């Protein structure tokens, strides 16, 4: 896929069907209500940050995130990349990188100097993607407790 055929633009409510289709292909789950809630959340919380990639009028990738401060004791504005999805039929065409570059530029333009994400260790390809972008392990560590 060439840069001339790929359009990266801000997320809109009209992108929901494309996002649901990508998630169904990548996670083998059809969850339109869950993704409607997530898209609505990001559009309300930080409408300037989340992006989609479109080719020939079709959503082929998306990245959801926002800018936060005051969470986890981090007072400076911090960019968070929460979810990345690329249609597997378009994988390897630079879509993830184009989405990340657009989101990182949005963060920069708003004065953000630190961007965070979390990667499940069962997804080494996602970790490799973020490492190629320049991400590195951080001192912030996740903890979990399962309630009965």
pLDDT at residue 75, as a whole number: 77
- Residue position matching structure tokens 């996602």: 126
pLDDT at residue 143, as a whole number: 85
| Torsion, Cα of 66, 71, 76, 82 (10° steps) | -30
State the DSSP string of 71-101. Answer: BTTB-S-EEEEEEEEE-GGGTTSSHHHHHHH
Domains in the chain: boundaries: 3-133
Helix, strand, coil abundance in the chain, percent, nearest 5: 40, 25, 35
Looking at CATH, the fold of the domain delimited by 3-133 is given as Aminopeptidase (3.40.630)
Q: Three-class SS of residue 9?
A: strand
pLDDT at residue 94, as a whole number: 94
- Given a cut of 50, the residues of the chain with pLDDT beneath it are 2-3
């Amino acid at each position: 896929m060439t840069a001339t055929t790929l359009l990266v633009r801000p997320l809109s409510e009209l992108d929901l069907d494309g996002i649901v289709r990508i998630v169904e292909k990548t996670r083998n789950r059809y969850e339109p209500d869950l993704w409607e809630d997530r898209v609505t959340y990001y559009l309300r919380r930080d409408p300037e940050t989340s992006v989609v990639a479109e080719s020939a009028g079709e959503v082929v990738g998306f990245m959801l995130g926002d800018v936060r401060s005051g969470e986890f004791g981090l007072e400076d504005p911090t960019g968070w990349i929460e979810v990345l999805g690329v249609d597997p039929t378009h994988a390897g065409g630079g879509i993830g990188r184009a989405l990340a570059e657009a989101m990182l530029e949005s963060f920069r333009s708003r004065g953000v100097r630190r961007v965070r994400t979390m990667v499940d260790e069962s997804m080494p390809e996602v970790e490799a993607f973020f490492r190629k972008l320049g991400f590195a392990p951080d001192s912030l560590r996740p903890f979990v407790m399962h309630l009965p």
